[in-house]
Amino acid sequence: MSVCEKYFPDEPTEPKLVTAFPGPKSKDAVASLDKVFDARPVYFVADYEKSSGNYIVDVDGNAYLDVYAQIASIPLGYNNPALVEVAKSDKMTRAIIDRPALGNFPGKDTEEIISELLKVAPKGQDKIWSGLSGADANELAFKAAFMWYQAKKRGYASTFSEAENESVMKNQAPGSPELAILSFERAFHGRLFASASTTCSKPIHKLDLPSFKWPKAQFPSYAYPLEANEESNKKEDERCLAIVEDLLKNWNVPIAAILIEPIQSEGGDNHASNAFFQGLRDLTLKYGSLLIIDEVQTGVGATGKFWAHEHFNITPAPDMVTFSKKFQSAGYYFHDPEIIPNVAYRQFNTWCGDPARMILAGAIGQEVVKHNLAERAAQVGDYLYGKLETLFGKYSELITDLRGKNRATFIAWSFKKPELRNKFLNDMKSVGINIGGCAEDSVRLRPTLVFEEKHADILVAGIEKILSGY
Amino acid sequence: MSVCEKYFPDEPTEPKLVTAFPGPKSKDAVASLDKVFDARPVYFVADYEKSSGNYIVDVDGNAYLDVYAQIASIPLGYNNPALVEVAKSDKMTRAIIDRPALGNFPGKDTEEIISELLKVAPKGQDKIWSGLSGADANELAFKAAFMWYQAKKRGYASTFSEAENESVMKNQAPGSPELAILSFERAFHGRLFASASTTCSKPIHKLDLPSFKWPKAQFPSYAYPLEANEESNKKEDERCLAIVEDLLKNWNVPIAAILIEPIQSEGGDNHASNAFFQGLRDLTLKYGSLLIIDEVQTGVGATGKFWAHEHFNITPAPDMVTFSKKFQSAGYYFHDPEIIPNVAYRQFNTWCGDPARMILAGAIGQEVVKHNLAERAAQVGDYLYGKLETLFGKYSELITDLRGKNRATFIAWSFKKPELRNKFLNDMKSVGINIGGCAEDSVRLRPTLVFEEKHADILVAGIEKILSGY
């Protein structure tokens, strides 16, 4: 019996459509919700009570195979019984109702809660700082990076100068210095002000927001299939690394850290080679910056390893690794004690994360390990990739750049005519599949970790049915 | 039977100390925790299972009367049975394990969850946008303010210019404009980058962080007691309002919004008059800015009204009211449809808040209303204020500026010798009371909403015991 069958004996065996999309009850519910909440981006209103495993059910009773999974954030399927048990535990109840100011009054179970997250830490990492969302995790990492950079500059003193203490209250240097985080074109790292300053995938994410004038390098744009374009893709790596080095040397303010996704997700499922990532690591060491890997979307098994950057064997290990989404909790892993600020209360806030969400993350991590779900995702992904490669061979006038080989189910492709992409995402609902896009022309697969070969078959058949009508 | 007795029949009747502070088990637990988490700011490690009502119990078995309550964030006492019931409900379980991307796939209970929060909305507010922490709530409000300001400037067009779309990807104007939020000296609004740019209470909150160069006005500094200083305090209001007006007129970039706490909390429990707040409202209308009230620490009954700014009768109602802490959820209330951005996906992120925390907030709100806990806090606060006034009359060489009359238990006072303040906070542990400070010289009371006269008696006796030794 497969893990999915064990978890979800009652999962639907196929999509079930009882109304057109969106259904009348969903439409009514959206109209009503819109009076109190901005419901314009709503696709449909879900009935989570009836959803199960890989299937999300809407209020009209339609059951969709879900390969988008709440923007890549449901790890183990809807209503996973192992997580129900955790959610019903007394430990969880206390974490919900007695939410501590974790930095001041941790509970007797805090160390254990954090240790569970460390059991699945990326290779080389052994400490954690906790936050609340992907954007928050990245900005907390920025804070750590800036404090680290300035500590080094002032020779690791445990005090601050009078000039620093006075100027910072006016948002002026030297207390509030001009420093930058280097990110990449097409990157997505969140939508708060500092994180939005590093995000560079679509104008809509940040129009009208004041920003930090931080630099953007270029992320490699590879030619596909990779096997046939090794030489030119290697040159592309070199071109992009040269841009990074130029910015590290010549940008008008010091760059405290480089921030990068292992696979640019929102920005189009853009991949880069092991050599490119090692090249970045080497440059950060050469120029005295930190390397922050944003695993918000790629982490927790989705690419066939628990953390996607583990595919690259970056040496030495990255300085910080941020997480959120499938982990249901957020924060960053790190290992260098120098990344802990010189005095207490600098990396601090009232809650310092949410133990309720951290307990859940610990349980998710243990389930992934116990059931080898990253390895299973790799198997299922290989199966699915093969089927898609064959299928898209028949539709090469429509589809290009199939991506994500050897990256489990973290698969994407592009439409040659970008205007067909949105139509495709919508049309897939008519075959009972909930699927998401990235960039302007691409489709990204982000199923749960209990997505199996039988689901892949339904997905591929659904794609073929839609493409055959174009 | 009082509400506290009904909720907590087993609450300790007085503090119980079985070890010196901190106890040996707590010390060991801190040392162990510090290996995986920055434990330097930890006061003691708590046993939340054994904590009850107004008493927090540590791992050594010491029971402290808690008038700090997780930095002002525990609303209804530890292990409140009404909240246990909510935490154990199937609705909560689903919110925890099937966390939706709320903007795309809300659940069938989402509207109801939000409507519960709207039942306790500040007067004049009827919509909500949800976030995850106080800093996040404020920054989401900033985003809304900047989008509103620019929408007005471009005549409410539904599209953006090519120049805006292109420049924003380089973090440049016009797509990323120079705009500011005006806040006040001694303010605290959070520690992310934009929120830290508005925070101005202590250097430690923001040293080494790049910041937006946003202006700070001056918050009134009143002479106490207020009754004896009406004339000079009125002049102080006028002086401070003149500074605000000057900044609105002359600051080098446009000010999209004024951000202010009803009572500056972290910055010293600084109060201002109804006239000052109405003056701010008038100035925002005159100069075309928004007024954002930060109720993160003051909200949810603590000052004797559900929202502290309701004491001021600001007319028209503020444009946005942010919340977190005692509500256990975060976000902002608003009412003007123009504060909803012109197109979808601008005020957006993966989770758009956390329904689990929103369900809890709804339940907290209903409990506060059902048991008249804001009014009860006002009664208890009046009782406590009177006792403290009498007590501090005897210690006028030590204590000054008792504050918070008619603000329920939201009471503070200052030490004439600031160096005595930290000693006092620490010494209070020796009489079994957990109490917090604000600014450099002040003590702030932030008990739960089930803090009653009997607890006030224990608190006052404890304070007297410590002061009598100075």
Residues of B in contact with A94 (CB under 8 A): 48-49, 79
CA A468 to chain centre: 32
Q: Which of A93, A101, A348 sits opposite B88 (nearest CB)?
A: A93
- Whether chain A has a CB inside 8 Å of the CB on B395: the answer is no
- Cβ contact, residue pair B38, A132, below 8 Å: no
Same domain, residue pair A278 and A230: yes
Q: Which of B90, B149, B175 sits opposite A207 (nearest CB)?
A: B175
Residues of B in contact with A350 (CB under 8 A): 70-71, 73, 133-134, 324-325
- Cβ contact, residue pair B106, A39, below 8 Å: yes
CB atoms within 10 A of CB A246: 12
- Whether chain A has a CB inside 8 Å of the CB on B251: the answer is no
Q: Chains A and B: how many Cβ contacts under 8 Å?
A: 364
* Residue B25: C-alpha distances to residues B20, B21, B32, B69 (Å): 11, 11, 11, 22
The strand pair at A255-260 and A180-184 is best described as parallel
Test mutation, A99, A150, A207, chain B, max B CBs within 10 A: A207
Query: Sign (positive/negative) of CA torsion B310, B311, B314, B318?
Result: negative
Grade residue A158 by pLDDT with cuts at 50, 70 and 90: confident
What percent of chain B has a predicted confidence (pLDDT) above 90? Answer: 99
Contact (Cβ atoms closer than 8 angstroms) between residue A180 and residue A254: yes
Q: Which of A59, A108, A349 sits opposite B47 (nearest CB)?
A: A108
Residue B267 gets which letter from DSSP? T
Residues of B in contact with A331 (CB under 8 A): none
Calculate mean pLDDT across residues A153-159: 90
Task: List, for residues B219-237, the tens digit of each pLDDT value.
Answer: 999 999 999 999 999 999 9
- Cβ contact, residue pair A175, B207, below 8 Å: yes
The amino acid at residue A313 is: N
Q: To the nearest 10°, the Cα dihedral for A196, A198, A202, A204?
A: 10
Q: Is residue A364 situated within a structural domain? A: no
Residues of A in contact with B78 (CB under 8 A): 97-98
Task: List, for residues A44-78, the tens digit of each pLDDT value.
Answer: 999 999 999 999 999 999 999 999 999 999 999 99
Same domain, residue pair A42 and A121: no
Mean predicted lDDT score pLDDT of chain A: 97
Of all residues in chain B, the one with the smallest CA distance to A78 is B98
Residues with Cβ within 8 Å of B197's Cβ and at least 6 positions away in sequence, in order, are A171, B181, B206, B211, B212, B213, B214
- Cβ contact, residue pair B180, A41, below 8 Å: no
- Cβ contact, residue pair A164, B203, below 8 Å: yes
- Cβ contact, residue pair B71, A347, below 8 Å: no
What is the rounded CA–CA span in Å between residue A333 and residue A130? 9
- In A, residues 439-468, which contact B (CB 8 Å cutoff)? none
What is the rounded CA–CA span in Å between residue A205 and residue B118? 27
Contact (Cβ atoms closer than 8 angstroms) between residue B71 and residue A71: no
Q: Is residue A92 situated within a structural domain? A: no
Annotated catalytic residues of A are 188, 294, 325, 350
Calculate mean pLDDT across residues B120-139: 97
- Whether chain A has a CB inside 8 Å of the CB on B227: the answer is no
Tell me, what CATH number does A68's domain have? 3.90.1150.10
Calculate mean pLDDT across residues A9-30: 96
Same domain, residue pair A134 and A226: yes
3-state SS class at B338: helix
Exposed / middle / buried, residue A336 (Cβ in 10 Å: 0-12, 13-18, 19+): middle
3-state SS class at A322: strand
- Cβ contact, residue pair B107, A207, below 8 Å: no
- In A, residues 304-343, which contact B (CB 8 Å cutoff)? 324-325, 328, 340, 343
CA–CA–CA angle B413, A352, A368 (5° rounding) = 160
pLDDT number for residue B158: 86
> Is the ipTM here above 0.95?
yes
Q: Is residue A91 situated within a structural domain? A: no
The last residue of one of the domains, among B353, B386, B418, is B353
Tell me, what CATH number does B214's domain have? 3.40.640.10
pLDDT number for residue A1: 87
Residue B182 gets which letter from DSSP? E
> Which stretches within B62-176 are classed as H helix?
69-72, 81-87, 90-97, 110-119, 134-153, 162-168
Task: List, for residues B309-332, the tens digit of each pLDDT value.
Answer: 999 999 999 999 999 999 999 999
Q: Is residue B94 situated within a structural domain? A: no
pLDDT number for residue B293: 98
Q: Which of A178, A346, A350 sits opposite B204 (nearest CB)?
A: A346
- Our CA-based measurement puts residue B167 at a distance from the nearest CA of chain A, in whole angstroms, of 9
Same domain, residue pair B65 and B113: no
- Our CA-based measurement puts residue A139 at a distance from the nearest CA of chain B, in whole angstroms, of 7
pLDDT number for residue B339: 96
Same domain, residue pair B408 and B322: no
3-state SS class at A46: strand
Calculate mean pLDDT across residues A132-150: 98
- Whether chain B has a CB inside 8 Å of the CB on A44: the answer is yes
Q: Is residue B93 situated within a structural domain? A: no
Calculate mean pLDDT across residues A214-221: 98
Q: Is residue A277 situated within a structural domain? A: yes
Structure token pair of residue B329: 């959820």
- Cβ contact, residue pair B118, A36, below 8 Å: yes
Structure token pair of residue A42: 């709503």
Q: To the nearest 10°, the Cα dihedral for B357, B361, B363, B368?
A: 160
- Cβ contact, residue pair B169, A98, below 8 Å: no
Q: Cis before residue A12, ω within 30 degrees of 0? A: no
pLDDT at residue B17 tops 90: yes
Q: Which of B165, B194, B208 sits opposite A177 (nearest CB)?
A: B208
Residues of A in contact with B107 (CB under 8 A): 45-48
- In A, residues 348-387, which contact B (CB 8 Å cutoff)? 348-351, 354, 356-357, 360
- Whether chain B has a CB inside 8 Å of the CB on A207: the answer is yes
Annotated catalytic residues of B are 188, 294, 325, 350
Task: List, for residues A261-289, the tens digit of each pLDDT value.
Answer: 999 999 999 999 999 999 999 999 999 99
3-state SS class at B454: helix
Same domain, residue pair A280 and A208: yes
- Whether chain B has a CB inside 8 Å of the CB on A112: the answer is no
Same domain, residue pair B146 and B295: yes
Same domain, residue pair A323 and A175: yes
Q: Which of B107, B208, B325 sits opposite A146 (nearest CB)?
A: B208
Same domain, residue pair A208 and A297: yes
Structure token pair of residue B59: 């791992």
- Whether chain B has a CB inside 8 Å of the CB on A156: the answer is no
pLDDT number for residue B470: 94
The terminus-to-terminus CA distance of chain A in angstroms comes to 38
Task: List residues bridging with B444 in a β-sheet.
Answer: B412, B436
What is the rounded CA–CA span in Å between residue B217 and residue B185? 6
Residues of B in contact with A147 (CB under 8 A): 207-208
Test mutation, A216, A350, A360, A429, chain B, max B CBs within 10 A: A350
Contact (Cβ atoms closer than 8 angstroms) between residue A86 and residue A360: yes
- Whether chain A has a CB inside 8 Å of the CB on B161: the answer is no
Residues with Cβ within 8 Å of A235's Cβ and at least 6 positions away in sequence, in order, are none
Calculate mean pLDDT across residues B171-179: 97
Residues of A in contact with B108 (CB under 8 A): 29, 45-48, 59
The last residue of one of the domains, among B319, B353, B387, is B353
- Our CA-based measurement puts residue A308 at a distance from the nearest CA of chain B, in whole angstroms, of 20
pLDDT number for residue B84: 98
Residues of A in contact with B41 (CB under 8 A): 103-104, 344-345, 348
H or E segment and range at residue B382: helix B373-394
What percent of chain A has a predicted confidence (pLDDT) above 90? Answer: 99
Test mutation, B97, B147, B345, chain A, max A CBs within 10 A: B97
Mean predicted lDDT score pLDDT of chain B: 97
pLDDT number for residue A233: 97
Boundaries of domain holding B458: 3-79+372-468
What is the rounded CA–CA span in Å between residue A54 and residue A36? 30
Q: Kindly report whether the global pTM for this prediction surpasses the value 0.80.
A: yes
- Cβ contact, residue pair B136, A134, below 8 Å: no
Calculate mean pLDDT across residues A238-259: 98
The last residue of one of the domains, among B321, B353, B385, is B353
pLDDT number for residue A279: 98
pLDDT at residue A316 tops 90: yes
Same domain, residue pair B405 and B318: no
pLDDT at residue B28 tops 90: yes
Structure token pair of residue A242: 């040269």
Of all residues in chain A, the one with the smallest CA distance to B358 is A96
Q: Is residue A95 situated within a structural domain? A: no
What is the rounded CA–CA span in Å between residue B466 and residue A303? 60
pLDDT number for residue B1: 87
Same domain, residue pair A126 and A19: no
User: How many domains are contained in chain B?
Assistant: 2
Q: Which of A79, A83, A171 sits opposite B214 (nearest CB)?
A: A171
Residues of B in contact with A142 (CB under 8 A): 193
Task: List, for residues A79-99, the tens digit of each pLDDT value.
Answer: 999 999 999 999 999 999 999
What is the rounded CA–CA span in Å between residue A90 and residue B103? 30
Calculate mean pLDDT across residues B412-425: 97
Sheet containing B330-334, strands listed edge to edge, beginning at the edge strand earlier in sequence: B127-131, B330-334, B320-323, B290-294, B255-260, B180-184, B216-217
Q: Is residue B25 situated within a structural domain? A: yes
CB atoms within 10 A of CB A379: 15
Same domain, residue pair B175 and B292: yes
Residues of B in contact with A43 (CB under 8 A): 104-105
What is the rounded CA–CA span in Å between residue A337 and residue B35? 10
- Cβ contact, residue pair B104, A71, below 8 Å: yes
pLDDT number for residue B371: 97
- Cβ contact, residue pair B203, A118, below 8 Å: no
Exposed / middle / buried, residue A300 (Cβ in 10 Å: 0-12, 13-18, 19+): buried
- Our CA-based measurement puts residue A176 at a distance from the nearest CA of chain B, in whole angstroms, of 5
